[in-house]
Amino acid sequence: MADQTETLPRQVPETGVADLGLFGKPLFEDPSARALSRVGVVDVGSNSVRLVVFDGAARSPAYFYNEKIMCALGAGMSETGHLSPDGRVRALSAMRRFKKLAESMGLADLSVVATAAVRDASDGRDFCEEVRRETGLRIWVIDGEEEARLSAQGVLLGWPGAYGLVCDIGGSSMELAEISGGRVGRRVSSALGPLKLRDMKGGAKARQAHIKEVITGLQEKMGAQRDRLFLVGGSWRAIARIDMYRRGYPLHVLHEYRMTKKSVAETVAFIQKSDLDELRGACGVSSTRMALVPYAAEVLSRLVKNFKPKDIAISSYGIREGMLYEQMPQRLRDRDPLIEACRFAEAKDARMPGFGKVLYNFILPLYKGSPAPRKRLVKAACLLHDVSWRAHPDYRAETCFDNATRANLGGLKHSERIYLGLALLHRYSNKRENTRFADLHDMVDAKTQTEAEILGKAMRFGAMLWMNQDAETSSLKWYPKKRILEFRLTPETVPLFGEVAESRLRSLAASLEAEVQVKVLKARSPS
């Protein structure tokens, strides 16, 4: 067996993400990663049936195909005990379509799981048999604890070092799971799905008393959970959209969106007093989903009151991503999803794949004393610095910002998206004023904006040199106390330091509030 020493992770305490050598062998060239390059999963839920086909870098997958059909299989189950007849027809039709789509995409198989509605319905097994006869697809009906585990693994796909409590709400159930150290711990399931709550008798008073009783019981089973609360599921995402709307939040990316206990309380009150049809139109939430939001909001309100989390984060990754994570070997799981996605983008779209490493090493002297999380973003920026080169020059800077802030990237806070976006904007432009994204800039403070500008201008200058990875190259030296930026050229690279390059170097120095010193090193004597 080949020596695997170089693939073992070295934990980075500041991020909780394993650093497996940013510029080593690309993950997506590994045979085990290529085997996962296109994976199709189907989630048969109480409210919807969804097909997702993952494609791209195995550690941070792109959504090659994503389709959801609202079937409401669990509607009326509280009274009948059966799956909704209309929902069954719609779900079977969806499965036929998904099977055909999978065949056309060349997928050898689909992994299909069903959750609360199918497992609780008296005719759930009959439905699974019908699907198998009609499509050949086998549905795996999972119990509540397994659903909780898979959802928690989905969160770990996006946040490898995450710790806290994962709460996944579906149409007919709600699951809790604790995560820490890259592992899933205790987990429980309940019947607190909004479809079931909507069908309860006794009105709002009885319903809220029931929610309180159930969550208090869940709290006793799970113990104290005062860390981060990760919210998974369509109803939570709808509430987050409403929270964004109420606050006038400018970045409409749900993954890693943060809420506080106070904002949850204010948004629940906002929902209760709003016209749901008007709110649905303003927030882009479907009518089917909006009908369940008031019930989910009552659950979230009680959940936050009981568990008192440190903060609250929305996860767009859940059970379907957890199914992909399930198929990954541990050494893939330990990779940083942000860095892997950026490496994949560079390999696919950059003019000179691999130059990101050279550029990173060139500007690294500016970040000698920076903490690991900042260096991680610098690495990501260097990998992405050239992937938008095909955009029209007049719009290239804005395209870079747009891509960084709205791309499907895991392990990235919203403030970090803005920092990365601003750095890439300044890779192509000295100024950031008067762009159509100006309202997003203020999501980070003035100091962070300046730091992003410095990174962008450093990349802008470094990209002029087109240094060969193996050649004797020029280098930067940074003396922060003296505010001196020294640029050292080898005789080989002197011709590259033309007027435009000099102008970019001086622009970088101006942002650093530094004096520029240029030195030409002596040629090495032949050995």
What does the alpha-carbon distance between residue 176 and residue 237 come to, in Å, rounded to a whole number?
17
| Residue 311 and residue 417 share a domain | no
* pLDDT at residue 89 greater than cutoff 90: yes
303 lies in the same domain as 195:
yes
Q: Which of 141, 165, 182 is the last residue of a domain?
A: 141
Banded model confidence at residue 241, pLDDT cuts 50, 70, 90: very high
Residue 21 domain flag = no
Average pLDDT, the chain: 89
526 domain-assigned? no
* 382 vs 380: CA distance, rounded Å: 6
Residues 158 and 123 both lie in one domain: no
Query: In angstroms, rounded to a whole number, what is the distance separating the alpha carbons of residues 105 and 82?
Result: 34
Is pLDDT above 80 for 332? yes
Q: Which two tokens stand for residue 135?
A: 């499509």
- CATH assignment at residue 124: 3.30.420.40
**Residues 360 and 387 placed together within one structural domain of the fold:** yes
Q: Does 16 map to a domain?
A: no
Q: Do 48 and 196 lie in a common domain?
A: no
Question: Coil, helix or strand for 440?
Answer: helix
Tell me, yes or no, whether 293 and 440 share the same domain.
no
Judgement on whether residues 447 and 359 belong to the same structural domain of the protein? yes
Which residue, of 321, 352, 372, is where some domain finishes? Answer: 321
The answer to whether residue 17 sits within a structural domain is no
The region of weakest confidence among 28-32, 113-117, 298-302, 355-359 is 28-32
190: domain CATH number?
3.30.420.150
- Count the domains in the chain: 3
Question: Please, what's the b/e burial string for 429-446 (b: 16 or more CB within 10 A of its CB; e: otherwise)?
Answer: bbebeebebeebbebbee
Q: Is residue 327 part of a domain?
A: no
Same domain, 129 and 149: no
**What CATH number did the domain enclosing 457 receive?**
1.10.3210.10
Range of the domain at 372: 337-520
In this structure, the answer to whether residues 136 and 231 fall within a common structural domain is no
Assess whether 134 and 161 both reside in one domain.
no
How many other CB atoms sit within 10 Å of the CB of residue 262? 9
For residues 352 and 354, give the distance between their C-alpha atoms in angstroms, rounded to a whole number.
Answer: 6
Co-location of 84 and 160 in the same domain: no
Is 11 among the domain residues? no
Q: Which of 101, 125, 141 is the last residue of a domain?
A: 141
The CA dihedral of 102, 340, 237, 181, to the nearest 10 degrees, is: 110
Strands 183-190 and 258-259: unpaired
Same domain, 216 and 273: yes
Query: What average pLDDT score do residues 438-449 get?
Result: 91
The residue ranking higher by pLDDT, 333 or 300, is 300
Structure tokens at 395: 């719009």
Domain membership flag for residue 3: no
Cα separations in angstroms, 205 against 202, 210, 294, 433 = 7, 9, 14, 52
The pLDDT of residue 206 is 95
Residue 26: is its pLDDT beyond 80? Answer: no
Instruction: Please tell me which of 205-214, 223-232, 336-345 the model is most confident about, judged by mean pLDDT.
Output: 205-214
* Residue 18, domain member (yes or no): no
